[in-house]
Amino acid sequence: MRKLSIALTLAAAAFAAPGQAALKVFACEPEWGVLATALGGDAVEVYAATTALQDVHRIQARPSLIAKYRQADLLVCTGADLEIGWLPALAEKGNNPKLLPGAPGYFEAARHVTMLEVPASVDRALGDVHPQGNPHIQTSARNIAAVAAPLAERLAQLDPPHAADYRARHRDFAARWAEAMLRWEERAQPLRGVPVVSNHKSWAYLYDWLGLREIATLEPKPGIPPSAAHLEAVLTGLGAQPARMVVYAAYQDRRPAEWLAGRAGIPAVELPYSVGGVPGTDDLFALFDATVDRLLAALGGKAG
């Protein structure tokens, strides 16, 4: 902790010069890019490396990403090995010491939330299992609030001339977010205890927050595409334990969810998963508005 404090002090000095340019933020996922923009305003220049329509497990370290990584002052990623397939290669090619683990410019959102589904042991035979727990933390509004505070503080530490602005913007964001969470939680009361089938283990934090109950997944193992035999087995299981909907992310193949939904007579609901996943979800507030709206519509029998 002492080493990080010293490093932050040294890094802050580099940003304190008059007339400094905007702090350059490289966000691995769109949710963190939008959050950094909400907290930083005009003081930050944010680049999002991925979109909600991409599988963030499988990204190529292409030249455009390398260039942005090399220029960045702050890296904001989910962590928990979500980006393990591409971020190490990007770090090697980008050669930006400011963004390496342990450096002031390295920020992992997952370190600031309570992780769910942490495995007792890791075996690749079990599929795409993450040793630190389920990394899809952005699906819970509670986690967005938990990440916002330390991210605002990191921005303030790296950019002292704008520290008061970052903290003020966080206070405003936190107040509006708390009000929105109360609204979402009140609207989502009918979802508590509702049994659902998921395409991928993407929604542990959403379900924990709103009280839905996952009874099956279309993937036989995390990251393994469903076979016809596995889909048939899930369908058979629904005879004994019915589900109310099938949930999948905007970036995922909709065909398995629609196949099961059609045969089980339940809605398939597409959730945005992140900012920009479906039309009209250009900020975090709209993201969760759409998520709750679509779940409630599916509960009422409408496919999303």
Q: What is the DSSP string of 161-187?
A: GGHHHHHHHHHHHHHHHHHHHHHHHHH
List CB contacts of 300: < 8 A, sequence separation 6 or more. Answer: none
pLDDT at 13 over 60: no
| 24's tokens | 């350059």
What's the pLDDT tens digit per position in 224-282?
899 999 999 999 999 999 999 999 999 999 999 999 999 999 999 999 999 999 999 99
Q: Break the chain into its structural domains and give their ranges.
A: 2-109+119-181, 189-299
Neighbours of 199 (CB within 10 A): 23
Distance of alpha carbon 24 from alpha carbon 70, whole angstroms: 10
Reported confidence tier of residue 301, pLDDT bands at 50, 70, 90: confident
Check residue 123 and give its pLDDT.
Answer: 60
Distance of alpha carbon 214 from alpha carbon 25, whole angstroms: 35
Which of the pair, 270 or 6, is modelled with greater confidence? Answer: 270
Check residue 9 and give its pLDDT.
Answer: 43
Check residue 5 and give its pLDDT.
Answer: 45
Q: Which helix (DSSP H) or strand (DSSP E) does residue 215 occupy?
A: strand 213-217
What's the pLDDT tens digit per position in 146-161?
999 999 999 999 999 9
Average pLDDT of 159-167? 98
Q: Assess whether the region 2-109+119-181 and the region 189-299 belong to the same CATH fold.
A: yes
C-alpha dihedral (204, 209, 215, 216), degrees to nearest 10: -30
Are 77 and 50 in contact by the 8 Å Cβ rule? The answer is no
What's the pLDDT tens digit per position in 19-59?
467 999 999 999 999 999 999 999 999 999 999 999 998 89
Distance of alpha carbon 202 from alpha carbon 151, whole angstroms: 23
- Degrees to nearest 5, angle at CA 274 with 219 and 258: 40
Are 211 and 191 in contact by the 8 Å Cβ rule? The answer is yes
Share of the chain above pLDDT 70, in %: 90
What number of residues does the chain have? 304
Under the phi-then-psi rule, with left for phi > 0, alpha for psi from -120 to 50, and beta for the rest, what region is 170? Answer: alpha
What's the pLDDT tens digit per position in 92-127?
999 999 999 999 999 999 999 999 999 876 665 555
Check residue 20 and give its pLDDT.
Answer: 60
Reported confidence tier of residue 221, pLDDT bands at 50, 70, 90: confident
Inter-helix orientation angle 284-299/163-187, to 10°: 10
Neighbours of 234 (CB within 10 A): 22
Report helix, strand or coil for 194. Answer: coil
Check residue 18 and give its pLDDT.
Answer: 42
Are 102 and 1 in contact by the 8 Å Cβ rule? The answer is no
List CB contacts of 76: < 8 A, sequence separation 6 or more. Answer: 25, 26, 27, 28, 32, 33, 35, 36, 107, 109, 151
Tell which residue, 24, 23, 38, 35, has the closest CA to residue 169.
38
| 32's tokens | 């963190």
Class of domain 2-109+119-181 as given by CATH: alpha beta
pLDDT at 128 over 90: no
* pTM tops 0.85, yes or no: yes
On the 0-12 / 13-18 / 19+ scale of CB atoms within 10 A, 153 is: middle
189-299 is a CATH 1.20.930.40 domain: no
